[in-house]
Structure 1
């Protein structure tokens, strides 16, 4: 599998995760926050430097 195919698959999984949480919670903001949390955990486990940079970014807004 090429890197482009892997990135495409990753994007599809992220979108599917957002859609699933949205269906459960009814909140787009909650869905984004849940995916952000999951990605943070993944990055912490796989790439500490990127995780540290992402940790400085906060999701802000209201539904």
Structure 2
């Protein structure tokens, strides 16, 4: 499988999470990296995943995987 890079401009780090937006509900969802690249989603590296900010009034949902 080809490594996917962070979607942030100027960042070449490996993507570890996928970000999607629901504009109607003013919500952003961050979860594990999707199986395939999606043109309607943004792949983010660990740094940009942690630094994620959204407009005031929006909600961020973070889906974490279980670590064993």
Shorter-chain TM-score range: under 0.3
Larger Rg: 1
Higher relative contact order (CA 8 A, sep 6+): 2
Structure 2 length as normaliser, TM-score? 0.24
If each structure's strand is expressed as a fraction of its own residues, which one has the higher value?
2
Structure 1 length as normaliser, TM-score? 0.25
